[in-house]
């Protein structure tokens, strides 16, 4: 199901519920995406959705460029000899108490794997007496750029969980972004296990917002006065 289909399904149901007002499609999409995002964030904690590969978007060839570490907004990286920064911001990710929803990061030919962490962890690692040799690490900054300190890497592949698949598609330099493809045509990100719950919750919120008048019917089919 893509974004246009889930919105049309909700709008058509609301019309059947006697909602005659014009319902902005973008608002409907925001409501249903926010509900799905919140539920997926909770599910990230039990790690079950990591097995649902259809939820994750692959970004091939995210490009990096060398930057001056002294100009980096992250204090932790200002003393790095080499600092690489992703040319583009990542799309809005889904977060949980475990961190971001970046599932996997590899080099361009998928032969090396990077560990994803944050600048604070980098600072702790640097202060440790013993460190893991040959561990490749990439850091997600507060500015939603990825950083690679002390390594000169110009491109990485990512698997990430985002509601904005079209934005993830746009930052891939290996894949030509289809400018004719609308954001409405991209898949609506939701676990198969949560789809019914997300739909019902979105319908309740939208019906309440637009004051749907539900017919109150007796068991024999006659409406109450």
- Which pLDDT score, from 0 to 100, does residue 158 have? 94
- Residue 203 within any structural domain of the chain: yes
Is 60 exceeded by the pLDDT of residue 222? no
Among candidates 54, 14, 56, 51, which has minimal Cα distance to 32?
14
Residue 201 lies in a domain: yes
Q: Check residue 214 and give its pLDDT.
A: 46
Mean pLDDT of 112-136: 71
Q: Return the pLDDT at 39.
A: 93
Look at residue 100 in the predicted model and tell me its pLDDT.
85
Residue 52 pLDDT greater than 90, yes or no? no
pTM, rounded to two decimals: 0.80
Q: Which tops the pLDDT comparison, 225 or 82?
A: 82
pLDDT band for 70, please (50, 70, 90 cuts): low
Lowest average pLDDT, out of 4-8, 120-124, 201-205, goes to 120-124
Residues 82 and 157 in one domain: yes
- The answer on pLDDT for 223 being more than 60 is no
Rounded to an integer, what distance in angstroms lies between the CA atom of residue 14 and that of residue 210?
9
Query: Is residue 222 situated within a structural domain?
Result: no
Identify whether residues 12 and 105 lie together within a single domain: no
Q: What are the two backbone dihedrals, phi and then psi, of residue 221, each rounded to the nearest 5 degrees?
A: 95, -5
The SS3 assignment for 197 reads helix
Question: Based on the domain organization, do 80 and 161 belong to the same domain?
Answer: yes
User: Does residue 224 belong to any structural domain of this protein?
Assistant: no
Distance CA 86, CA 148 (A): 9
Q: Are residues 44 and 138 in the same domain?
A: no
Statement to judge: residues 65 and 152 lie in one domain: yes
Q: Are residues 45 and 100 in the same domain?
A: no
Band (118; pLDDT cuts 50, 70, 90): confident
* Summary mean pLDDT of the chain: 83
**Backbone conformation region of residue 3, classed left if phi is above 0, alpha if psi is from -120 to 50, else beta:** alpha
Whole-number pLDDT of residue 176: 61
Partners of 93 in the beta sheet?
Answer: 162
Residues 37 and 146 in one domain: no
Residue 223 included in any domain: no
Q: What is the pLDDT of residues 138-158, one digit of tens each?
A: 988 888 999 988 888 999 999
When divided into structural domains, the chain yields a total of 2
Q: Indicate whether 114 belongs to any domain.
A: yes
22 shares its domain with 63: no
Which tens digit of pLDDT belongs to each residue from 165-191?
Answer: 999 999 988 766 555 688 999 999 999
Average pLDDT over residues 48-71: 83
Between CA 176 and CA 220 the distance in angstroms is: 60
Residues 19 and 31 in one domain: yes
SS3 141: coil
Q: Which of 152-156, 180-184, 200-204, 212-216 has the lowest mean pLDDT?
A: 212-216
Domain that holds residue 46: 1-52+191-216
Judge if 167 and 195 occupy the same domain: no
**Is there a contact between 86 and 145 (Cβ–Cβ < 8 Å)?**
yes
Are 89 and 172 part of one and the same domain?
yes
- Do residue 86 and residue 124 come from a single domain? yes
């Amino acid at each position: 199901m893509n974004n246009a289909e889930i919105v049309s399904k909700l709008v058509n149901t609301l019309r059947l519920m006697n909602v005659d007002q014009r319902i902005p499609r973008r608002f409907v999409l925001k409501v249903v995406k926010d509900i799905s995002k919140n539920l997926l964030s909770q599910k990230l904690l039990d790690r079950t959705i990591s097995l649902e590969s259809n939820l994750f978007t692959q970004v091939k060839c995210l490009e990096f460029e060398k930057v001056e570490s002294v100009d980096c907004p992250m204090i932790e990286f200002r003393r790095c000899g080499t600092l690489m920064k992703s040319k583009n911001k990542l799309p809005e990710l889904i977060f949980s108490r475990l961190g971001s929803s970046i599932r996997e990061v590899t080099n361009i030919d998928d032969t090396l794997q990077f560990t994803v962490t944050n600048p604070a962890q980098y600072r702790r690692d640097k202060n440790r007496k013993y460190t893991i040799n040959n561990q490749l690490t990439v850091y997600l900054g507060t500015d939603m750029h990825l950083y690679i300190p002390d390594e000169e890497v110009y491109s990485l592949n990512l698997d990430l969980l985002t509601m904005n698949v079209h934005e993830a598609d746009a930052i891939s330099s290996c894949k030509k972004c289809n400018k004719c493809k609308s954001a409405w045509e991209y898949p609506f990100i939701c676990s198969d296990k949560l789809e019914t719950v997300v739909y019902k919750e979105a319908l309740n919120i939208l019906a309440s917002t637009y004051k749907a008048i539900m017919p109150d019917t007796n068991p024999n089919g006659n409406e109450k006065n």
